Structure 1
Amino acid sequence: MAVTTGARPREAARERSTLAVLWGSTVGKKAAMAVSGVVMLTYLVFHMLGNLKIFFGPGDLNGYAAWLRTIGQPFLGHAWFLWIARVGLLLAVVVHAVAAYQLSRRDLAARPTGYRHTRARSSYATRTMRWGGVILALFIVWHILDLTTLTVNPRAEAGHPYQNVVASFSTWYGGGIYCVAMLALGLHVRHGFWSAAQTLGVNNPRRNRVLKLTANLLALVLTAGFLCVPLAVMTGIVK
């Protein structure tokens, strides 16, 4: 009996899932950040392309928004696809944020006091990612309240995304918040793409130049693509 009792803790330790062990390691958390970052990046590309339909008029953007709610029918119910995508995206955001926070705490706990003065470039990238992440997290909350639940949109009307976007960006604070967030997004994507490539083992001396160029180009395209919508509304190009 004594042997059986003593063996239980060891058996329980062996039965810990591989996923839990991976999550508990620094490498696992970095991998989780990289994979969740790729999921969010994919969403951002399609979201930006959808936003650009605003330049084709209310019919195109409103029709596109209505079409999104019919994806998967009749197998899926009305707007089910959107909710599945939202839940998946939320999980990716939570995993990304929690892993980033825990890695940051580990880094601070392991770092000697004098280390702070030795790698200015890495410190800059780390600070950019950290504060960019905070800005984007706050923006996500605002964006949902503004254009999803329509809680803070001054002239929101359910079922009319074109009109709601114009109403939001017609205010100095609506357009201003969006522009600041998109600049933070560009920096976050630029540093994050390169970090993800390193974590997933995609980079090597031959590919590094191409990967850095891709990171810069992707960040520039996303930033410009997202910024052109509020700027077009604020300058009267889109009404």
Structure 2
Amino acid sequence: MALATRTDRRPSMTRTLWDSSVGKKTIMAVSGLVMLGYLVVHMLGNLKIFFGSDEFNHYAHWLRTLGEPFLHYEWALWIVRVVLVAAVVLHAVSAYQLSRRDLRARPTAYVHRKARSSYATRTMRYGGVILALFIVWHILDLTTGTVHSGGFQAGHPYQNVLDTFSTWYGNVIYIVAVLALGLHVQHGFWS
């Protein structure tokens, strides 16, 4: 009886999914929905800022104790962070690989100069980079306090958010990020 050679084996379903363009687009869609779901929950939680400092600070503390006593302090938050990092990496790698595949498939430019795609479609790459940079800045500003404009106060998220939005550049950064996000999500739903 002959041993099966490497060429006789069928590729795994995961490998087939990752190698195909449809698979990569599916991975992008699912990871995008994970990130969008998080964004909606994050936004709803952050709307508590309109109920005052006590309500907002209590919500921030609750996030860190979520799942206790089954989970230790901040474990649920770290689980969410790991899932989000995985979603971001899968999304970005798939986008990059699809973009390279697209360029290899059509190495010469189209004859027609008139844009046939939407503005959101044409700015996807730049929007993704803007969003990635914003996420890093947002974490460094409001989670670690590394780039925070005022005196960052751990355990006082309400004051930290007010400090961020009391600067002109804090507002500009958020406005640009929200515009990029809007275009990115519009294209994602269209796709």
TM-score grouping bracket, smaller chain normalisation? over 0.9
Asked if 2 retains the 8 angstrom alpha-carbon contact of 1:129 and 1:192, the reply is: no
After superposition, the C-alpha distances for 1:39-90 in whole angstroms (9 at most, x for unaligned) are 0111111111111111111011100011111111111001110000011011
Partner amino acid, structure 1, of 2:136 = V
After superposition, the C-alpha distances for 1:149-205 in whole angstroms (9 at most, x for unaligned) are 11011321101110111111112212211111111111111111121xxxxxxxxxx
Matches within 5 A, 1:114-153: 114-115=109-110, 117=112, 120-122=115-117, 124-153=119-148
After superposition, the C-alpha distances for 1:84-108 in whole angstroms (9 at most, x for unaligned) are 0011011111111110111011111
Q: After TM superposition, what 4+ stretches of structure 1 lie above 6 angstroms from structure 2?
A: none
Match in the other structure for 2:152: 156
Partner amino acid, structure 2, of 1:187 = L
Asked if 2 retains the 8 angstrom alpha-carbon contact of 1:132 and 1:184, the reply is: yes
Q: CA deviation at 1:115?
A: 2.5
1:30 aligns with 2:25: yes
- Give the structure-1-normalised TM-score: 0.75
CA–CA distance in structure 2, aligned partners of residues 78 and 72 of structure 1: 8
> Judging changes above 3 Å, is the alpha-carbon distance between structure 1 residues 123 and 49 closer, same or farther for their aligned structure 2 residues?
closer
Structure 1 spans left out of the alignment, 5+ residues:
196-239
Match in the other structure for 1:188: 184
Equivalences, count: 190
Structure 2 spans left out of the alignment, 5+ residues:
none
Secondary structure of the 1:72 match is coil
Secondary structure of the 2:123 match is helix
Q: Greater share of helix residues, 1 or 2?
A: 1
CA–CA distance in structure 1, aligned partners of residues 106 and 160 of structure 2: 48
Q: CA deviation at 1:121?
A: 3.0
Say what the alpha-carbon RMSD is for the aligned residues.
1.8
How high is the sequence identity, in percent, across the aligned residues? 70
Decide which of 69, 74, 80 is 2:75's aligned counterpart. 80
Higher relative contact order (CA 8 A, sep 6+): 1
